[in-house]
Structure formats: structure tokens, C-alpha cells
Amino acid sequence: MNSHPIIEHIPRLRRYARALVGDRYAADDLVQDTLERAFVKLHLWRPGSNMRAWLFTIMHNVFVNQARSHRPEVELDMEELSTLSVKASQPDHVELADVDKALRSVAPEQREVLLLVAVEQMTYGEVAKALSIPIGTVMSRLSRGRERLRHVMSGASVVPLKVVK
Amino acid sequence: MSMSITDDELHAYADGELAPELRAGVEQYLAQHPDESERVRAYTTQNGLLRALYNPVLDEPVPERMTRGISRRVSRAWPRFALAAGVMFAGIAIGWVLRGTGIAPFPADVPFARRAAIAHAVFSPEVRHPVEVGADQEDHLVKWLSKRLGTDLKAPKLDVLGYLLVGGRLLSGPQGPVAQFMYQDAKGLRLTMYVSSQKGETADTAFRFAQEGRVSVFYWVDRHYGYALSGEMGRETLLRVANVVYKQLNP
């Protein structure tokens, strides 16, 4: 069983899901749902094409559908966020847990792009394909996501997130 | 002398995606614009922090539920994926599980004997997780599967033929839950018995034989339940086992 090509991608799917949704269990559920859908749709995957990209596209769709059907349960504590006061230029002082918290304040569609670029190290073109968006949208989401993260981490005036309940 | 450097180029520079011939220009620009330089440094720092934060996930052991076996996944999600399950089994079987077993691809509507042969081919080679519940918990296994199938199941005793119960697992079929019992002889040769509800079948049947690639199957219907005995062995050898099984189930 371990020889199935999907299996070797699971660790990366888990890493991305963890970064995307934060909570460990919710992240693994996202991976599980993604794998289930991938198995059902396996006949649509063209042998020889990029399986990683295909799986990330499926995960993106599952994530978007989930976000649409139930609003995020995690409420952001803006006060806490604004007191992170982490200087991005001083990584020695950065608590990694604070980075995770700050990442939650980045809008989901920007977070996706940011993580695919920064963590998954996809090219901009690969991100555009995985998320089915034009490359210009990739660049604008990347830019806004990074700025958002930078402001939160530097303790600069935080633009209040629209609170979704 | 001002150069025009776009925001996109700064990101591409931070991500190492900028064409090499443009790098020198950006570096020159950054040297003259400390704020922009600080911004690019923040981006690369973010990249590093995010990787440092999430890369350890790569080294975490993958939860067993994710790799365990397709049918395990199917049975967990049984009500939701009842329909998908059949397709899943068929689709996956075509692609890879049965590679080398000699079983030909088939459409989603899979006959009973072939489903049994597939389940045999999928799980009998499993070294670490051939069954969900082992023979050491036989009582629990039989009760659990009986409850899920809605009938009193029995795990036949095949010791006289040299086959010992390994255990069993719950699978998913087009008409609901399916039970699979697995047996093994001293040489490690495995047999599986596949039991599923056959609501459409009213008449009991005699033994039927099917050859699915290397897997031989004897199957029959008895009181609305279908039974299939599968093994990679000759017809006569399997028939001997099937007779013993049948007698034990119909004393």
C-alpha cells in the first residue's frame, strides 16, 4: 500500500493544512477529506501530470467549501495580536507560536498563496494553477498577505479584521 | 537616476524567482532605498519563519487512518460515502491495487465474486495491518461484525485444514457493510471469507466458482447473505475449504 503515489504527498499536505487552518485536528481532517476526494477522483488524474499540484488543488477546493459551509470557529483576539510586538527583523526574538497566531489574522485566500509560496515553495505559476486564479491575483494576494503579516508581527497599527461569526 | 522596480519584482526577488538578469538592478535599487530593503528582508524572514514553524510537520508520523487501507477509510465514512465507496473500490482497483494480480479492469457495477476477489487481493498481502481486529479478540470481532451486518455471523474454524483465523475487518459494499475474515496457514498462504447482505437475492444458491486473475472464489447465497471464499489456490483445494465452511455455517 505504501507504494501508492498519493501516500508520499501526505506529509506535505499535512504541513500545508496545519499552516492553513492552525488547529492540528482540523488540519488532519482537512487532509483526510482531501484524500477521500482524491481517491474518488483518481480516475480523473492524468498519469504523468503533476500529482502534487493536483492534490493541492483538491485540498484548496475542500478548504474553500468548508470555509463556505461553516464560518471559522476561531475568533481572533485582536488585542492579543496587536501586543505581539514582534520585530520581523529580529527573528531571534520571535516566538514561533506568535507567528502562527499572526498568520491567523491573514485572510484565508491570502494565507493560501503566502503558504504555497513560502512553505511549499511553489513558483507563482504553480500557485496560480493550483488555486485556479490568474497570476496577477497570486501577486496581489501575496503582497497583501505579506504586508498584513508584517504589520501584525511588527506591532504596527493593526487594521481590524472583519470579524466573522 | 531612478529605476522603476515593481512590487512584483520585489516579491520575486525575495522568493528567488526573479530572472537572474534582473537581480542586479533590484539589488542596486534596494541599496538606495532602505525602507524597501527592509521590506524585502521582512519577506524573506517571513518565509524562513513559516518554514521553521511548519516543516516539523513533515517529520511527524502520518496518522494511520490516512494510509491504512482504502476500505478502512470507506467504512469510517460509510453513510456519507456509500455511493462513492463502490466507485472508489472499482477505480482504485483498476489503477493500482490489483496491478500484477491479473484481474482486469471493470465498471462500477461489480459482481459479488469480483468484489470478494478484490478485497482479498487488497488485504491479503498486507503485512502490518491485514485485519482491523485480530483473532486474539475473536469474540469481539464476531460480535462487532454481526452487529454491523445485522445478522449472527460465525467465523468458521478451519484448523483441521491448517488455516488459523488471523482476524477480520469491516468493508463497504453496494448494499451496506461487508465483513471479511482472514485465515492463514503455516506457510503464510491466506484465505478470506467475505460476507455481505444480498437483499435482492431471495433464493439460496449452490456453490458457484469464479476465477478472478490468480484469485479463486467460491461463493453462494444463503438466507439473504452472500458468502465468498477467496484464495490464490486451485479450484479443488478451495472447494475442500468451502465445503467445510458451508457445513459449519449450516449445521
Q: Report yes or no: A103 at the B interface, CB cutoff 8 Å.
A: yes
Please give the grid coordinates belonging to residue B63: 496518522
> What is the value of ipTM here, to two decimals?
0.82
pLDDT at position A53 over 60: yes
Best of B10, B45, B58, B98 to disrupt the A interface (most A CBs within 10 Å) is: B45
Cell of A111: 494565507
> Is residue B89 a contact partner of residue B162, using CB atoms and an 8 Å limit?
no
Q: State the SS3 of chain B.
A: CCCCCCHHHHHHHHCCCCCHHHHHHHHHHHHHCHHHHHHHHHHHHHHHHHHHHHCHHHHCCCCHHHHCCHHHHHHHCHHHHHHHHHHHHHHHHHHHHCCCCCCCCCCCCCCHHHHHHHHHHHHCCCCCCCCCEEHHHHHHHHHHHHHHHCCCCCCCCCHHHCCEEEEEEEEEECCEEEEEEEEECCCCCEEEEEEEECCCCCCCCCCEEEEECCEEEEEEEECCEEEEEEECCCHHHHHHHHHHHHHHHCC
3-state secondary structure of A125: helix
For residue A91, which amino acid is it? P
- Give the integer Cα–Cα distance in Å for B98 and B172: 18
**What are the φ and ψ backbone dihedral angles of A72, each rounded to 5 degrees?**
-55, 135
How many Cβ pairs closer than 8 A exist between chain A and B? 116
Give the pLDDT score at A161.
Answer: 43
B15: closest CA of chain A, how far (Å) = 8
C-alpha grid cell, residue A97: 507560536
Q: Which residue of A has its CA nearest to B81?
A: A36
Confidence of residue A1 (pLDDT cuts 50, 70, 90): very low
Q: In whole angstroms, what is the distance from residue B46 CA to residue B175 CA?
A: 52
pLDDT, chain B, mean = 79
Tens of pLDDT, residue by residue over B18-45, are 998 999 999 999 999 999 999 998 899 8
Selected residue with higher pLDDT from B78 and B227: B227
Q: Label the pairing between strands B190-197 and B208-212.
A: unpaired
Q: Which amino acid is at B167?
A: G
The nearest alpha carbon in chain B to A10 belongs to B62
B14-73 residues touching A, CB cutoff 8 A: 15, 17, 38-39, 41-43, 45-55, 57-60, 62-63, 65-70, 73
d(CA A134, CA A137): 5
Which residues of chain B does A16 touch, with a Cβ-Cβ cutoff of 8 Å? 54
Question: What is the pTM (predicted TM-score) of this model?
Answer: 0.52
pLDDT (0 to 100) of residue A107: 94
More confident residue, B31 or B127: B31
**What integer pLDDT is reported at residue A67 of this predicted model?**
75
B227: left (phi over 0), alpha (psi -120 to 50) or beta: beta
